[in-house]
Amino acid sequence: MKNKKVMPNGRQGFTLLEILLVVAAIAILAGIVIVAINPSKQLGETRNAQRRTDVNTILNAVYQYVVDNNGTVPAGIPTATCALVATNEACKLTATGTCSTGVNLSVLTTSEKYITAMPIDPTVSSTNGTGYYITKSANGRITVCAPSAEQGATITVTR
């Protein structure tokens, strides 16, 4: 049996091999934990949760407007299905308050009565669009969807 080296203060120290084995074990455990957590999946789920919240926020604001205006839906919402068509995308207003393409929902943000600002999809890179699409059916039901949802999720709400 080997004796451990005795330090000048009378205590025994660890050998280099023992320290390396502990560090290796910690590294292996950390690697397993990182793989189990899967950060990219977690981030995608977080962005999808934000999209679900934003879709509901837009739809709630539209219906608050409808209630306050005797059943009148904001002008410009197309009668179609919630598809990736530029004219169906809710636009974010420019500094001058104009909407060059898409659905202008500025009536919702005027004086911050229904919503303070239009939510924007977490991964959107458009200069004019929000990444959220809004349509109404022939019967007047409003649909808001987030086609950029990740991990195969479908995020759409209809009322």
Domains of the chain, by residue range, sit at 39-158
SS3 content of the chain, % helix, strand, coil (to 5): 40, 15, 45
Query: What pLDDT was estimated at residue 4?
Result: 59
Query: What pLDDT was estimated at residue 78?
Result: 92
Query: What pLDDT was estimated at residue 61?
Result: 96
CA proximity to 145, closest of 153, 137, 136, 157: 157
90, 133 Cβ separation under 8 angstroms: yes
Query: What pLDDT was estimated at residue 83?
Result: 77
Mean pLDDT by 10 residues, the chain (159 residues): 62 85 94 84 94 96 95 90 84 71 88 91 84 92 94 93
**DSSP secondary structure of 80-119:** S-S-S-GGGEEEPP-TTS--SSSB--HHHHGGGSS-SS--
120, 50 Cβ separation under 8 angstroms: no
Query: What pLDDT was estimated at residue 28?
Result: 93
Query: What pLDDT was estimated at residue 100?
Result: 75
Q: What does pTM read for this prediction?
A: 0.77
